[in-house]
Each structure stands twice: as structure tokens, then as C-alpha cells.
Amino acid sequence: MSQVFLGMPAHSSPGVGALRGDQTFPQAARTALADPQLRRNLGHATGTIRAKRLAVVSELDDWEQLRLAGQAIKAATMARLDDHLARLEQEVTARGGTVHWARDAVEANRIITELVQATGADEVVKVKSMVTQEIGLNEALEQAGIAAWETDLAELIVQLGHDTPSHILVPAIHRNRSEIREIFLREMPGVDPDLTDEPRRLAMAARSHLRRKFLSAKVAVSGANFAVAETGTLVVVESEGNGRMCLTLPDTLITVMGIEKLVPTWTDLEVFLQLLPRSSTGERMNPYTSMWTGVSPGDGPQDFHLVLLDNGRTAVLADEVGREALHCIRCSACLNVCPVYERAGGHAYGSVYPGPIGAVLTPQLTGVEQNASLPYASTLCGACFDACPVRIDIPSILVHLRARHVEEYAAEHRLPSAESLAMGAAAWVMSSARRFGFVTRTARLGRVLGRRRGRIRSLPPPASAWTATRDVPLPPTETFREWWLRTRGES
């Protein structure tokens, strides 16, 4: 067995990868909200995926039982994650593969770069690369003189457009067909200058471009949807066939996987192969499900490496409430039903994991104070919990992380925040019936501010931050107690 880090849980390394944005969520969301084309693209795409998901989910009478089974399997797996990981390493090694343990993004990038350099290759093809975006692998390979080619169509669009992903399943969801055509014409070598924005023509152009990469690349880098511990089998599900090409044609295959992605047995995998396609693409099953176990002589890659990535996951596991975020199977169902995501889009989250699941996973991977605004990027409406195929209670985790932020901020700063001052004042007022009655009666003076419009449109600082984006209703002419006394007397 290889050496395993046994120190205290650590968060992901700052300055590496795509877990930290340059702006807070409110700042980035304000920019996104000013882009009407972005909102139209997002509204159309998420609405289409929602409708497809509802149609296929309603076909199953036991959908809720499947969700409960998925939730129970994930909870049981996390409770014995160390045992299952050791079993996975044992089985992969026994079948000719090599397992590497990466504590963080820096270590993972170093391991992968050295493996590619050992083959003498100067380019790799990639599939299912979300975790490699998390660690910033493309940038690390580029610094070593190695070109990385994305082969998922949406990832290719993002790469050619010098863009960043904005959705877990559909990374280029913020782009429409016309924008994709312009990117292909500008960035894709040898593309037909008469290319139209017809989806079939765009797909054919991408296929022709990628086929050359598949046939020339000696090394492939993949992610994984699942790993089955009892046999050491890796699983990738996808819709385009590029995964099958990446996983079978190159001589060397390097798979990078977060340590939470495993399931103990094939029976457990059966549940998730029913939950995932219906929740993600709205399909009964994925068009391509590729599985491989170690190395098979004369068939497929003859050199297989599995990089097991922590990068903050053991820190998440150490939080009894927050660890539920590790149950995520990356279906993106929560994004497609989230009213905040539909308007702000994925870039506003500043992380490769956007939407509701990103708002609970990213701050835990980085440390809450590194992404303190994300737990507030939600209305707590609960739609994400209803859609989640493994019943992750995202609203409760959001509230838990908000509490952690308040506690950690107070511990690190001598002066209280404006929010804590406001909450402290509210608690002092509400702890006394006399003070509460006085304040509610006095608040009626605020009616003067909105008497012309029927609403208060602006307040002086610091309350101006609140009224900058929303109006305040006029205070009532009488309090509830006054109304009760007037209509019911003392009874």
C-alpha cells in the first residue's frame, strides 16, 4: 500500500485551481444580472432540462425509494470511507493499475505532469474533466509544455472560447448556437468557413476536429463518475462517445478522482445508474457507460494510473452536518431548479462547482471564510432538496455554513460586523415586550418616507445597502396588538 497522509484535515491550496473567484457572489451576480442575453440562454436551457427530467422521473413509481436508497448508500459509504478506499487501492493494484494519493491540487498536478512526461508525450486528451478543472490541471500541464485537449463538446466550446464553465453538466450553458458558431470559426483550425449554427453542423465540425486528437494522443486524462471498491472498477457515463475514445485508444490512461466518488459494491452502483441519467440529462439511461478494471493485455491502455484526490474533502468529512455535500453525484439537478442560479448563472459563484451544491461544497473545500458569500447565494426555498437524487439537505447545510461564517468572523475580528450589530440590536429589542412595543409603534414614523409611492425606496446608510436592490413596505398604521384590542377588546 502506498503512503497515506494521516495529518489533520486540510483545505484546498489557495492560488491553485478553480475554487476561488476574484469577486464575491453579490459583486459577480450584479454583473451577470445586467446581461439579458445570458439570462435568456440560462432560462431556455434550464427550462428544457427541467421538463425532460420531470417526464422521465414521473415514469418510475419507486423514484422516492431510489432516492432513499441512494441517500443511505452514500451515508454508509462515508462512514467507512477509509476502509473502502484501502479496498479500492488493493483491487486496482492487483489488476495491474497504479494508485497515487494526492493531498491537494499541487500534489495532484505534480503527479500527473510527471506521469505524462515519463511517456514522452507533449499532449493529452481529456474527458469528464471537472475535477481536473478544480485542481487547475490544464494550466499546470501548459507550464510543463504539455497541451491538454478537452473532448466533451461543451468543454471544448469553453476551452476554445477561453472561457470558464458555468454549469456542472452543461459547462457552456451560457452560450447560444450563434455564439458557438463564432467561436468555432475563430478558434478551430481548418473549420468550414460556411459553417452555420445548425446543431448538426456544429457537432460535425467538433467531431472532425476531435477525431484527429483522439488518433494522435498517446495519453488520456479522465475523471470518473464512480469507482467500485470491491473490484477496483472505474465508471464514466457520457452522451457523446468521446469518453469511449479517450478510455480505449491511448497507450496510457490517467484517471483523477475525488475520494468521495466510490461505491462499495456493484449492487450499490446499480442504484446510482438509475438515479444519475434521469436527474442529469433527463434520460432513462446514459448513451455510453464505460467501465474498466486495471489493465487488460492487448486491449485498451496498457498503463493505467488512478490519482485519488483529497483537496479539502477530509475537512468536509470532519463536519457532521456539512459532510452530506460529499454525497453529490454531480447530476446538476439542483442547478436547474434554483431561481438564483437561473438568473445569476454559474460564473457568479467563482468556482468550478456552481449552483446550490457549489454553495455548500466550495466553501467547505476552501474553508468557509475563503468563500464566505456563497452560503448566502440562496433563497432557502428548498427546491434543490426536492430535486436532489440522493436527498442532500442543501438548505440546512447553507444555514449551518452561515452560522459557521458568523462564528469564524467573530473569532478573527475584534470589531463586530454590521450584520452582527443589527442582529444583536434586534435580539435586545425582541427580548422585551415593552421595548418591542415601543419600536413597532415608533416605526410608523417611517410612513412619512414612502407616503408618495406607497413603498420606501431608499434609506440612509447603512440601511441604504438593503434598499439599493429592494423596496421596503410601508409600516402598518397600527400594530397587531393594537388591531387585536380594537377588534376583539381584552378577550
Q: Could you give the CA distance from residue 90 to residue 276 in angstroms, rounded to a whole number?
A: 27
The span from the CA of 235 to the CA of 155, in Å, is 19
- At 179, which CATH number? 3.40.50.10420
Q: Are residues 133 and 246 in the same domain?
A: yes
Read out DSSP for 413-425? -SSPPHHHHHHHH
Please check whether residues 63 and 212 belong to one and the same domain: yes
Q: Which of 314, 337, 364 is the last residue of a domain?
A: 314
Whether 218 and 88 share a structural domain: yes
* 292 DSSP β-pair partners: 234
Counted domains in the chain: 2
Q: Which amino acid appears at position 427 of this protein?
A: A
| Euclidean distance between CA atoms 453 and 464, whole angstroms | 17
β-sheet bridge partners, residue 98: 305
Could you tell me where the beta strands, DSSP code E, fall in 205-344?
219-222, 226-228, 233-238, 252-258, 262-263, 288-293, 303-309
- Asked if residue 217 is part of any domain, the answer here is yes
Residues 6+ apart with CB under 8 A from 384: 334, 337, 338, 355, 356, 357, 378, 392, 394, 395
* Domain endpoint, select from 314, 348, 370: 314
In a domain, 379, yes or no: no
Q: What's this model's pTM, rounded to 2 decimal places?
A: 0.88
What is d(CA 113, CA 170) in angstroms, rounded to the nearest whole number? 27
CA nearest 26: which of 360, 411, 486, 376? 376
| pLDDT tens, N- to C-terminus, the chain (491 residues) | 455 555 556 888 888 899 999 999 999 999 999 999 888 989 999 999 999 999 999 999 999 999 999 999 999 999 999 999 999 999 999 999 999 999 999 999 999 999 999 999 999 999 988 999 999 999 999 999 999 999 999 999 999 999 999 999 889 988 899 999 999 999 998 899 999 999 999 999 999 999 989 999 999 999 999 999 999 999 999 999 999 999 999 999 999 999 999 999 999 999 999 999 999 999 999 999 999 999 999 999 999 999 999 999 999 999 999 999 999 999 999 999 999 999 999 999 999 999 999 999 999 999 999 999 999 999 999 999 999 999 999 999 999 999 999 999 888 888 888 778 888 999 999 999 999 989 988 888 888 887 778 888 888 887 887 788 788 888 888 888 889 989 988 66
Identify whether 193 is preceded by a cis peptide bond (ω within 30 of 0): no
Q: CA-CA distance, 238 to 244, in Å (whole number)?
A: 9
Cα(255)–Cα(306) distance, integer angstroms: 5
**Do 282 and 430 fall within a single domain?**
no
Beta strand residue intervals within 76-200, DSSP E: 98-102, 123-127, 147-150
Which distant-in-sequence residues (6+ apart) come within 8 Å of 50 by Cβ? 336, 337
Domain boundary among 271, 298, 314: 314
* Alpha-helix residue ranges (DSSP H) falling in 171-296: 177-187, 199-216, 242-248, 266-280
- Residue 7 is predicted with a pLDDT of 55
341 falls within a domain: no
- Residue 412 in any domain: the answer is no
d(CA 364, CA 370): 9
Please, what sign has the CA dihedral across residues 33, 36, 40, 41? negative
The H or E element containing residue 455 is strand 455-456
Residue 364: name the closest of 396, 323, 393 by CA.
Answer: 323
Task: Give the DSSP letter of residue 149.
Answer: E
Question: Do the domain assignments include residue 70?
Answer: yes
Does 138 lie in the same domain as 272? Answer: yes
| Region at 304 (left for phi over 0; alpha for psi -120 to 50; beta for the rest) | beta
Is 351 domain-assigned? no
Q: Is residue 352 part of a domain?
A: no
Q: Report CA 438 to chain centroid distance, whole Å.
A: 47
What distance in Å separates the CA atoms of residue 457 and residue 175, rounded to the nearest whole number? 35
Give the CA distances from residue 181 to residues 126, 168, 178, in Å, rounded to whole numbers and listed in that order.
22, 22, 5
Q: Which domain holds residue 146?
A: 40-314
Q: Do 286 and 431 reside in the same domain of the chain?
A: no
User: What grid cell was written down for 467?
Assistant: 434598499
Domain presence at residue 378: no
